[in-house]
């Protein structure tokens, strides 16, 4: 019975797909403008299997885009997860899409990501709600909180690097993931290493991240299901933290969560004030900020260590900037925002790392109306993805996006990379012991599969740059 049911379902979907294709062709023919070149793949599933195969390979999921860009050019069409996706890699078009002056696009992630981060997440919210949530979160990224964050992060890095000396081999990615997770949890919710919640949350966020690109099938053995469970556990822990704070209002917390809750409580006596964020919005966005900030920055730090190992000249110049006697002030006390602003060569290294690694390889948008891109017709409801990795081959720098959706944590991310870089250079020399460049399977952001293992040797105090 169930076999017949499945056959009928597949047949029905196949017919549906055929009708869609025919109507699509008729519509395209009725206008003079062609749709972008590309393949719709197999009936119904399109090129989903090719996409999944790329995710599951050591070349990474960007390989799927790269192959088609080479075959079809800078604007091509495909069908994944039963939806049409267009990939765009011309700088002009990218700027127009990201700036979105005419309101033709909104951001949209594939369904699995939307369900995992939550519908109130800044990443998924509708245009109107996005504006409101973003305005509330932007307040948290002030210069004052950045300065405080740098101090905390520096202390964390100094403590962590101290422990490296006794380790034979250090896996940079593993260490960076731990560091960035702790840093995000500290600044968002004042969680310290001793807090029992920290380890639980780390595991739960790990499950969510691993499920980001999974096929959205909710069976107990699927990656997606496990991701959703991780999300559920994360939300329960966060609820407990919020309830504890509400029960003990006299306790003082200087963190993002407290700012959001206090604003919430003060401005919403009767739950009617539309300017405050609801608990659901706060929770989804705390998870969003951890996901947006942890994995991205940890991957960037790892690529930076690898690139420096491969570019000895750059490393030497960097050592000169950081080990020169005049800069010793940077080495004694906690680093400040002002110190970071003076690290001019290191800032260039950070920027070049972000350009080369293109941590977020494409930025997803949804066309809200029929429009034209590079002379091709784009239909309302199609997904339009800006291929940032390809754009980074020309001087345009969009590692943190552009327009109204520009990365909120951009300065925080750059600060983390600079602090890490400075402390690493001034504490150790290192050698990468596995130069394999394959990337991790299933990762949303490009991460080295090897994790970049290094062996470190302590730099002698006051050693001159050499
Ligand atoms: C090297 C590290 C990072 C990189 C490369 C990066 C990159 C990006 C990019 C490209 C976008 C825009 C995507 C688009 O337009 O579709 C974005 C958005 C975002 N990022 Fe980052 N990011 C990094 C670190 C962080 C950190 C540390 C945070 C801090 C909490 C953060 C929070 C966010 C948020 C909340 C958004 C959504 C903004 C919105 O939609 O309005 N990111 N990030």
Residue 8 above 80 pLDDT? no
d(C-alpha 320, C-alpha 367), whole Å: 49
Question: How many angstroms does the Cα of residue 360 sit away from the middle of ligand 1?
Answer: 9
- How large is the average pLDDT for residues 123-134? 88
Q: Is the CB of 297 under 6 A from ligand 1?
A: yes
Does the C-beta of 55 come closer than 6 Å to ligand 1?
A: no
Ligand 1 center–CA 125 separation, angstroms: 15
- Contact present, 281 and 133 (Cβ < 8 Å): yes
Per-residue confidence (pLDDT) for residue 87, from 0 to 100:
97
**Backbone dihedral angles phi then psi of residue 210, each to the nearest 5 degrees:** -65, -20
CB distance 218 to 228 below 8 Å: yes
Cβ–ligand 1 distance for 287 under 6 Å, the answer: no
pLDDT band at 112; cut points 50, 70, 90 = confident
Q: Taking 80 as the threshold, does the pLDDT of residue 272 lie above it?
A: no
Average pLDDT over all residues of the chain: 88
* Helices 172-189 and 143-164: angle between axes, nearest 10 degrees: 140
User: What is the best residue among 409, 412, 416, 420 to mutate for testing ligand 1's pocket, by most ligand atoms within 8 Å of CB?
Assistant: 409
Tens digits of residue pLDDT in 35-80: 999 998 898 889 999 998 988 887 777 899 999 999 999 999 999 9
Q: In this structure, how many other beta carbons lie within 10 angstroms of the beta carbon of residue 302? A: 26
Pick from 310, 320, 345: nearest CA to 463: 320
Q: What is the pLDDT of residue 331?
A: 65
Check residues 421 and 465 and name the one with the higher pLDDT.
421
**What proportions of the chain, in percent to the nearest 5, are helix, strand and coil?**
55, 10, 30
**pLDDT bucket at 437, cuts 50 / 70 / 90:** confident
User: What pLDDT, on a 0 to 100 scale, did the predictor assign at position 462?
Assistant: 58
What is the rounded CA–CA span in Å between residue 210 and residue 46? 23
Cβ neighbours of residue 401 under 8 Å, at least 6 residues apart? Answer: 98, 360, 363, 388, 407
Determine which residue's CA is closest to atom 29 belonging to ligand 1: 409
Closest protein CA for atom 39 of ligand 1: 405
Here the tokens at position 54 are 């790329």
The atom of ligand 1 lying closest to the CA of 299 is 1
Is there a contact between 419 and 297 (Cβ–Cβ < 8 Å)?
Answer: no
The predicted-structure confidence for 324-380, as pLDDT tens digits, reads as follows 766 666 766 789 999 999 999 999 999 999 999 999 999 999 999 999 999 999 999
Ligand 1 atom nearest 98 alpha carbon: 15
Is residue 391 lining ligand 1, measured as CB closer than 6 Å? no
Given a cut of 50, whether residue 466 has pLDDT beyond it is no
Domain boundaries, the chain: 2-115+363-387, 134-355+415-458
CA–CA gap between residue 300 and residue 292 (Å, rounded): 12
CA of 278: how far to CAs of 15, 84, 92, 147, in Å? 43, 34, 38, 28
Residue 419 has pLDDT above 90, yes or no: yes
Q: Taking residues 115-141, report their average pLDDT.
A: 90
pLDDT, residue 24, reads 53
CATH (residue range 134-355+415-458): 1.10.630.10
pLDDT score at 14: 53
Is the CB of residue 413 below 6 angstroms from any atom belonging to ligand 1? yes
Whether 170 lines ligand 1, by a CB cut-off of 6 Å, is: no
Residue of 126, 134, 292 with the most ligand 1 atoms within 8 Å of its CB, for mutation: 292
CA of 296 to the centre of ligand 1 (A): 8
Please indicate whether residue 398, judged by its CB atom, sits closer than 6 Å to ligand 1. no
The residue written with tokens 């519509």 in the block is: 27
Residue 293 Cα to ligand 1 midpoint, Å, equals 7
- Residue nearest atom 32 of ligand 1, based on CA coordinates: 409
Which residues touch 171 (CB under 8 Å, ≥6 apart)? 451, 452, 453
User: What percentage of the chain exceeds 90 in pLDDT?
Assistant: 67
Q: Give residue 164 CA to ligand 1 midpoint distance, Å.
A: 29
Distance, in Å, from the CA atom of 301 to the CA atom of 413, rounded to the nearest integer, reads 10
Give the architecture (CATH level 2) of 2-115+363-387. 2-Layer Sandwich (3.30)
Q: Which tops the pLDDT comparison, 364 or 26?
A: 364
Tokens 């930076």, located at residue: 304
Q: Roughly how many angstroms between the first and final C-alpha of the chain, as a whole number?
A: 75
Q: Worst-scoring range by mean pLDDT, 248-262, 324-338, 384-398?
A: 324-338
**Nearest atom of ligand 1 to the alpha carbon of 107:** 16
* Closest by Cα among 242, 169, 73 to 431: 169
Closest C-alpha to 343, from 330, 357, 325, 356: 330
In terms of average pLDDT, the best of 99-113, 248-262, 401-415 is 401-415
Q: Is 401 in the pocket of ligand 1 (CB under 6 A)?
A: yes
| Cα(458) to centroid(ligand 1), Å | 34
Testing ligand 1's pocket by substitution, the residue of 297, 361, 407 carrying the most ligand atoms inside 8 A of its CB is: 407
For residue 134 and ligand 1, the question of a CB distance below 6 A is answered with: yes
**What is the pLDDT at residue 434?**
87
Decide: 227 in ligand 1 pocket, CB within 6 A.
Answer: no
17 has pLDDT over 60: no
Ligand 1 pocket residue status of 123, Cβ below 6 Å: yes
The response to whether residue 444 sits with its C-beta less than 6 Å from ligand 1 reads: no
Of the candidates 115, 282, 280, the residue with the CA atom closest to the CA atom of residue 213: 115
Spacing, Cα 405 to ligand 1 middle (Å)? 8
- Please state the separation of Cα 376 from the chain's center in Å: 29
Q: Is residue 185 a known part of a binding site?
A: no
Residue 300 in contact with ligand 1 by CB distance below 6 A = yes
Q: At what angle do helices 279-310 and 344-357 cross, to 10 degrees?
A: 100
């Amino acid at each position: 019975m169930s076999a017949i049911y499945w056959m009928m379902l597949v047949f029905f979907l196949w017919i549906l797909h055929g009708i869609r294709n025919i109507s699509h062709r008729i519509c395209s023919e009725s206008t003079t403008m062609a749709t972008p070149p590309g393949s719709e793949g197999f009936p119904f599933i399109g090129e989903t299997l090719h996409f999944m195969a790329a995710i599951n390979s050591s070349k990474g999921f960007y390989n799927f885009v790269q192959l088609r860009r080479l075959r079809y050019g800078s604007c091509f069409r495909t069908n994944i997860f039963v939806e049409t996706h267009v990939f765009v890699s011309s700088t002009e078009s990218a700027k127009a899409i990201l700036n979105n002056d005419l309101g033709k696009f909104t951001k949209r992630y594939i369904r699995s990501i939307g369900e995992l981060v939550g519908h109130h997440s800044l990443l998924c919210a509708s245009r109107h709600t996005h504006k409101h949530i973003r305005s509330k979160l932007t307040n948290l990224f002030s210069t004052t909180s950045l300065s405080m964050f740098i101090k905390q992060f520096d202390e964390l890095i100094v403590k962590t690097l101290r422990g490296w000396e006794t380790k034979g081999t250090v896996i940079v990615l593993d260490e960076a993931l731990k560091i960035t997770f702790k840093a995000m949890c500290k600044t968002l919710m004042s969680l310290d290493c001793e807090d029992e919640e920290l380890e639980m949350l780390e595991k739960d966020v790990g499950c969510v991240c691993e499920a980001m690109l999974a096929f959205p099938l909710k069976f107990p053995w699927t990656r997606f299901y496990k991701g959703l469970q991780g999300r559920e556990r994360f939300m329960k822990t966060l609820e407990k933290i919020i309830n504890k704070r509400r029960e003990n209002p006299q306790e003082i917390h200087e963190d993002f969560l407290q700012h959001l809750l206090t604003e919430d409580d003060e401005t919403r006596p009767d739950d009617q004030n539309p300017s405050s964020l609801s608990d659901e919005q706060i929770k989804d966005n705390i998870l969003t900020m951890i996901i947006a900030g942890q994995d991205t920055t940890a991957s960037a730090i790892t690529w930076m260590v690898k690139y420096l190992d491969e570019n000895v000249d750059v490393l030497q110049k960097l050592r000169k900037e950081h080990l020169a006697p005049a800069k010793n002030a940077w080495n004694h006390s906690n680093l400040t925002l002002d110190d970071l602003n003076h690290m001019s060569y290191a800032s260039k290294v950070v920027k070049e790392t972000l350009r080369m690694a293109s941590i977020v390889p494409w930025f997803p948008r949804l066309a809200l109306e029929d429009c034209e891109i590079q002379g091709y017709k784009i239909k309302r409801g199609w997904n339009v993805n800006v291929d940032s990795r390809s754009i980074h081959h020309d001087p345009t720098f969009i590692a943190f996006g552009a327009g109204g959706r520009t990365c909120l944590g951009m300065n925080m991310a750059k600060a983390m990379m600079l602090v890490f870089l400075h402390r690493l250079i001034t504490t150790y020399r290192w050698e990468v012991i596995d130069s394999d460049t394959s990337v991790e399977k299933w990762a949303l952001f490009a991460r080295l599969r090897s994790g970049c293992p290094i062996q470190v040797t302590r730099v002698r105090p006051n050693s001159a740059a050499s």
